[in-house]
Amino acid sequence: MSHLLTATCAVPAAGAVLTAALPAGSTEARRRTTKAVALGTSAVTLALAAAVAGQFDPDGARYQLTESHSWIRSFGISFSLGVDGIGTVLALLTAVLVPIVMLASWHDADPPGQAPPGQAPSDGSFENRRRTQAFFALILAVEAMVIVSFYATDVFLFYVFFEAMLIPMYFLIGGFGDRAGGPESARQRSYAAVKFLLYNLLGGLVMLAAVIGFYVIAQDQGFGTFDLPTLTSAIADGKLVLSGTAEKALFLGFFFAFAVKAPLWPLHTWLPNAMGESTAGTAVLITAVVDKVGTFAMLRFCLGLFPDASKTFAPAILVLSLIGIIYGALLAVGQKDIKRLVAYASISHFGFIIMGIFAMTSQGQSGATLYMVNHGISTAAWMLVAGFLISRRGSRLIADYGGVQKVAPVLAGTFLIGGLATLSLPGLAPFVSEFLVLVGTFTRYPAIGVVATFGIVLAALYALLLYQRTMTGPVKAEVSAMPDLKARELAVVAPLVALTILLGVYPKPLTDIVNPAVDATLTQVHQSDPAPAHPVAGHPGAAPSGGEHK
């Protein structure tokens, strides 16, 4: 039995404990030690996640590198881990982003007045106890819990970590918020953190009721276990039967929790507050890492455990996704706050992801999985550069900027690349995934696919307007002395830009890994791609050249 998956989860968890136990950061040397330990831990985690991806065989079994350790034997609960292609790439995305977030957040937990040259210092009146150890330990704790969620093959184990990750995120939002808001933002940070926690706890409680209900039904039929492969196989073979009403109720219980986390309209309202009041690094953790657990779980648990209910509710979910695409994009256009603009843009993007999942086509689900990865990379680039911009000026308001490209051309250029990726410019990574989602949706639901394309137009509007208002035009006096990106900041942005371009022109390494898992998921819900309405010459069923279809 391989223990590679356990090691990948355990290293950031152990690193979080070690980082929290280090002596308090009362001196710069101690703070540097804390940061180095946390960054080193995240680097080891990245190496382990890369090793998992390297050992994963796309042509092999659905779940690989499996391991299982009995946990609560009387209820059939175990610490069971295993990866399919989707979990592999999402865990690797998490491991890539965490060290980048740490580098970008290098000074976010420094004491008031310690901001580096060229950045706006805090006045200190609302942050007299910002501990470096706590900040970086919380980031590592989030990483550990998210990776367990992507690797878990026990339904109860997944639920535990799905809920547990809310705690470190709550403290990251409420205790280490954005300094640019000033003293009055302490109340807003508290509100955002509590709203985040309550929304997600409510979703988790509904899911817990569904988990218990599912276990009771399964146990009555001789399946007293939470092991996901066992349960999905029993459902597929007809050995575990759920009545239509029970399956629909259980599906809604699971889906509600995942839709809150995703977030899907109209359960999205916590996200703009949480991202707006967080540091840029924490905002990336929210939307590029934690929220992906929700969409991932829709694929793994909703479709795997409740195939018939998934097909029943798919049209309604597609309508909600479509509303989210248009609604999020429209509100992004009208935002005055940079971070809230990125938050509403993410709501629109999550609409595309969920639409691809429930289109029930191979192109749609493959595109949705790629979208999770590409959105994580492109949004991280856009948000982190926005964070560098905000830290220099000390304001999140778009109107406070102008002419930045003349004084900080590298910062402006990387900000533009992030914006162009967000609007899915061909040649950049999100274009491939968005194209697949739209094609996959159109083949089964043409009207929804057509309307969803308006989201692309609106994305171009909010991304280019933001760049125009902040980076072009006359140089405002407040930004005239703004420094360009430093070496550490370039080290943050460069790999994200490189990945955005690489995956935009050559996505094959990812599609090769995820496509077998997508095919297996479609098989579970007894779906196949719709046949072409008009046969194509050279393919089976096509009319002879020069002839007519009979």
Per-residue pLDDT of the chain in tens (550 residues, 90 and over written 9): 678 999 999 999 999 999 988 876 557 777 888 889 999 999 999 999 999 999 999 888 889 999 988 888 888 889 999 999 999 999 999 999 999 999 998 888 776 555 444 444 444 333 433 478 889 999 999 999 999 999 999 999 999 999 999 999 999 998 887 655 555 667 788 888 899 999 999 999 999 999 999 999 988 888 888 889 999 888 888 888 888 899 999 999 999 999 999 889 998 899 998 988 888 999 999 999 999 999 999 999 999 899 999 999 999 999 999 999 999 999 999 899 999 999 999 999 999 999 999 998 989 999 999 999 999 999 999 999 999 999 888 888 998 898 999 999 999 999 999 999 998 899 999 999 999 999 999 998 999 999 999 999 999 999 999 999 999 988 888 888 889 899 999 999 999 999 999 999 999 988 899 988 888 888 877 777 776 655 555 444 444 444 433 3
Instruction: Give Cβ neighbours of residue 442 (< 8 Å, ≥ 6 apart).
Output: 449, 450
Nearest-angstrom CA–CA distance, 159 and 169 = 16
Buried (b) or exposed (e) across 54-81, using 16+ Cβ within 10 A?
eebeeeeebbbbbbeeebeeeebbbbbb
Predicted pLDDT at 121: 42
Q: Which of 216, 380, 197 is nearest to 273 (CA)?
A: 197
Helix (H) or strand (E) holding 70: strand 64-72
Predicted pLDDT at 386: 93
Structure tokens that stand for 407 in this block: 């004084």
Single-letter code of the amino acid located at 388: F
Sign of CA dihedral 233, 237, 238, 244: positive
Nearest-angstrom CA–CA distance, 340 and 226 = 39
Contact 517, 86 (CB under 8 A): yes
- CA distances (Å), origin 229, targets 242, 321, 450, 543: 17, 29, 37, 43
Nearest-angstrom CA–CA distance, 68 and 61 = 16
Residue 477 burial (CB < 10 Å; 0-12/13-18/19+)?
exposed
Q: How many CB atoms lie within 10 A of CB 413?
A: 17
Write a three-state SS string for 103-160: HHCCCCCCCCCCCCCCCCCCCCCCCCCCCHHHHHHHHHHHHHHHHHHHHECEHHHHHH
Nearest-angstrom CA–CA distance, 293 and 348 = 17
Contact 322, 355 (CB under 8 A): yes
Predicted pLDDT at 316: 95
Structure tokens that stand for 141 in this block: 């704790």
Predicted pLDDT at 418: 92
Strand partners, 83: 64
Predicted pLDDT at 545: 40
SS3 assignment, position 464: helix
Parallel/antiparallel/unpaired status of strands 77-83 and 64-72: antiparallel
- Domain range list for the chain: 306-529
Render pLDDT for 412-438 as a digit per residue (tens, 0 to 9): 999 999 999 998 899 999 999 999 999
Q: What share of the chain is helix, strand, coil (3-state, %, to 5)?
A: 70, 5, 25
Q: Which of 372, 515, 363, 327 is nearest to 441 (CA)?
A: 363
Nearest-angstrom CA–CA distance, 61 and 71 = 25
Question: Which DSSP letter does residue 543 get?
Answer: P
Structure tokens that stand for 231 in this block: 């349960």
